[in-house]
Amino acid sequence: MAKHKIPRYVDFVDGFPMNAAGKILKYKMRQEATERHNLGDASKIVTA
């Protein structure tokens, strides 16, 4: 596997934050991860 494809962090959670329609709130997960791993500002993280 290419080095840039290996995850830096793996978190195990009991559940995902969801909206009323049952969709996963990715921005909430991103915020929690930045706080947990001290990554800085969540808005600067580039995602696909």
- Contact 45/29 with Cβ under 8 angstroms? no
Please report the pLDDT score of residue 43 as a whole number.
Answer: 63
In this structure, is residue 37 part of a structural domain? Answer: yes
Residue 44 lies in a domain: yes
For the chain, what is the domain count? 1
- The answer to whether position 5 is within a domain reads no
Q: Is there a domain that residue 46 lies in? A: yes
Letter string b/e over residues 2-14, b meaning 16 or more CB atoms within 10 A of that residue's CB: eeeeeeeeeeeee
Assigned domain for 11 exists: no
| pLDDT value, residue 28 | 93
Q: What pLDDT shows up at residue 34?
A: 86
- Structural domain boundaries, residue 35: 18-48
Q: From the first residue on, what is the mean pLDDT of each consecutive set of 10 residues in the chain (48 residues)?
A: 88 94 94 85 67
Query: Residue 48: its pLDDT value, please?
Result: 64
The answer to whether position 35 is within a domain reads yes
Sign for the CA dihedral angle at 7, 12, 17, 21 comes to positive
